[in-house]
Amino acid sequence: MTNGNEKNEMGWNFDHSYSRLPDIYFSNQKPTPVASPELIIFNDSLATLLGVNGEKLKSESGVAIFAGNDVPEGGNPLAQAYAGHQFGHFTMLGDGRAILLGEQITPQNSRFDIQLKGPGRTPYSRGGDGRASLGPMLREYIMSEAMHALRIPTTRSLAVVTTGEDVIRETDLPGAVLTRIAASHIRVGTFQYAAKWGSVEELRQLADYTIDRHYPEIKDKEAPYLSLLRGVIKRQADLISRWQLVGFIHGVMNTDNMTISGETIDYGPCAFMDMYDPETVFSSIDRQGRYAYGNQPPIGGWNLARFAETLLPLLHEDQDKAVEIAQAEISVYPELYKGNWLKGMRAKLGIFNEEDQDEGLIEELLSMMKKHRADFTNTFVALSFDTERLDFSKTDDFIQWNEKWQERRSRQQDTKEELDKLMRNYNPAVIPRNHRVEEALDAAVEDRDYTVMEKLLKVLADPFAHSSEQEEYATAPPEEISCDYRTYCGT
């Protein structure tokens, strides 16, 4: 066990506002200790942001906390209750393999959840072991940190430790625990749980808490719950547009994986698209393509509609009027999303101003990319530097499109240098290529070689650098590898 002085030196500064909600929303639950924890990776820059002592946390006593063998100073472990639509089917869920240690208050007075993922059973485990294996936890570390570097709102990863114990899946796998950092873990599914199993007053308390934590600017508005709905719609429209602009495929957009804060959460069967195709699906469990790349924007709207349903009792005392209000707000989402996406695509093409025909120019490019089976990321990098890099640069359709694009770019006051700089700042040189992620995970899990992962993380830390060190990581895999790639949820 860690002594009190050591714990105080670690820099934990916990509050527990979530535990002050009605007790239907959580169960007090300590982690289950493990045999012999070992620190695999630690996020020093994130530790600095959080205001914790990285060196102390990398010590044996700090690793004991990350493994669930000890509770940090001021910690109050609990598992959160929530529900969700999983592939369209509603069910009761909850933190089946996650425990919230507390909310770290940073030196800048920001608040972040500190959660262990894989620390043992909870009341919501539904027969599961509550554990996680090393590969999926390292995948979440890599992907979440890559998303952060790509300027996409996301949960982050502070540390991964191995447990010294195997977990049983299809085979025996090395166990691990990830420490996840989030603005909060309040989900659409949390509100669905409240609406289904709580009282109206308990639902109101959750909504008030969410406003205080994530939307304080609307607290004194005349209709705060309507403003909450609008705020969540706006953040999700922005988030999903950012996914689309870099070819990110979440893989499991269930309502329990949509945060009210607007952060990306759950990096199970996620992946980045290589060859552009809106029908791309990587998740092994998404057999119908519900969460394909091209379906992510409308699924975002579907999930938001489920959120709006939970707020009906707070929107108006008359049910029909409440439905009318909710429908009016949800109807705005497609245009919000489209506006964000068009703005991002204009930037990717070096366009500052707006013209009505821009959408046609963009769609023409995407259609051409699909026809020529072009790599999504590298196409935009080539447009940013040298179109001769494109495999289809000599085709008639590209030559015609390029003429229209250059003419469009000329209808701006900005210089060519400014337009090119805009493109390079919005078109990443590298993404976490699926074959590179698998290479790093295989080396870590099979050979306990973490250097491959460490090098990958270093390259991904500044995706807009366009440096020579990134070139080997920018190469797309052979088409047969990309097309056959599948990801798994890790549970």
Residue 2, pLDDT score: 53
In this predicted model, what pLDDT tens digit does every residue of 190-238 receive, in sequence order? 999 999 999 999 999 999 999 999 999 999 999 999 999 999 999 999 9
Residue 429, pLDDT score: 98
Is the confidence at residue 483, as pLDDT, over 70? no
Tell whether 391 is covered by a domain.
no
Q: What are phi and psi of 410, to 5 degrees?
A: -70, -20
Instruction: List, in sequence order, every residue forming a beta bridge with 86; answer none if it has no partner.
Output: 89
Q: What are phi and psi of 423, to 5 degrees?
A: -60, -45
Domain holding 229, by residue range, is 188-340
- Whole-number percent of the chain with pLDDT over 70: 96
Residue 170, pLDDT score: 81
Residue 23, pLDDT score: 97
The C-alpha atoms of residue 274 and residue 30 are separated, in whole angstroms, by 42
Is the confidence at residue 72, as pLDDT, over 80? yes
DSSP string, 58-90: TSHHHHHHHHTSS--TT---EEE--EEEETTEE
Tell whether 249 is covered by a domain.
yes
Q: Is the dihedral of CA 348, 144, 133, 118 positive or negative?
A: negative
Task: State whether 213 and 336 are in the same domain.
Answer: yes
Q: What are phi and psi of 39, to 5 degrees?
A: -75, 125
Q: What average pLDDT does the segment 90-114 reach?
A: 97
Task: State whether 301 and 326 are in the same domain.
Answer: yes
Task: State whether 194 and 45 are in the same domain.
Answer: no
Tell whether 440 is covered by a domain.
no
Mark which of 340, 370, 401 sits at the end of a domain. 340
Is the confidence at residue 308, as pLDDT, over 90? yes
Residue 284, pLDDT score: 76
Task: State whether 123 and 198 are in the same domain.
Answer: no
Mark which of 340, 370, 393 sits at the end of a domain. 340
Task: State whether 164 and 196 are in the same domain.
Answer: no
By CB atoms closer than 10 A (0-12, 13-18, 19+), residue 190 is buried
What total of structural domains would you count in the chain?
Answer: 2
Tell whether 204 is covered by a domain.
yes
Q: What average pLDDT does the segment 56-83 reach?
A: 97
Residue 8, pLDDT score: 76
Name the nearest CA neighbour of 316 among 228, 227, 223.
223
Rounded alpha-carbon distances, angstroms, from residue 424 to 122, 409, 427, 433: 46, 15, 5, 19
Task: State whether 197 and 254 are in the same domain.
Answer: yes
Residue 25, pLDDT score: 98
Task: State whether 230 and 141 are in the same domain.
Answer: no
In this predicted model, what pLDDT tens digit does every residue of 240-265 receive, in sequence order? 999 999 999 999 999 999 999 999 99
The C-alpha atoms of residue 185 and residue 189 are separated, in whole angstroms, by 10
Is the confidence at residue 103, as pLDDT, over 50? yes
Tell whether 444 is covered by a domain.
no
Q: Which of 4-13, 25-34, 419-428, 460-469 has the lowest mean pLDDT?
A: 4-13
Tell whether 97 is covered by a domain.
yes
Mark which of 314, 340, 366 sits at the end of a domain. 340
pLDDT level of residue 491 (50, 70, 90 thresholds): very low
Tell whether 72 is covered by a domain.
yes
The mean pLDDT value of the chain amounts to 95
Is the confidence at residue 5, as pLDDT, over 80? no
Task: State whether 141 and 194 are in the same domain.
Answer: no
Task: State whether 153 and 268 are in the same domain.
Answer: no
Q: What is the pTM of this model?
A: 0.95
Task: State whether 106 and 254 are in the same domain.
Answer: no
pLDDT level of residue 478 (50, 70, 90 thresholds): confident
Give catalytic residues, as residue numbers: 256
Q: Which of 229-233, 284-288, 430-434 has the lowest mean pLDDT?
A: 284-288
Residue 289, pLDDT score: 86
Tell whether 87 is covered by a domain.
yes
Identity of the residue numbered 437: V
Task: State whether 132 and 23 are in the same domain.
Answer: yes
Task: State whether 174 and 254 are in the same domain.
Answer: no
Is the confidence at residue 33, as pLDDT, over 80? yes
Residue 377, pLDDT score: 98
Q: What average pLDDT does the segment 52-56 reach?
A: 97
Q: What are phi and psi of 79, to 5 degrees?
A: -110, 135
Residue 7, pLDDT score: 64
Name the nearest CA neighbour of 435 among 377, 469, 379, 478.
478
Is the confidence at residue 359, as pLDDT, over 50? yes
* Ramachandran quadrant class, 38 (left: phi over 0; alpha: psi -120 to 50; beta: rest): beta
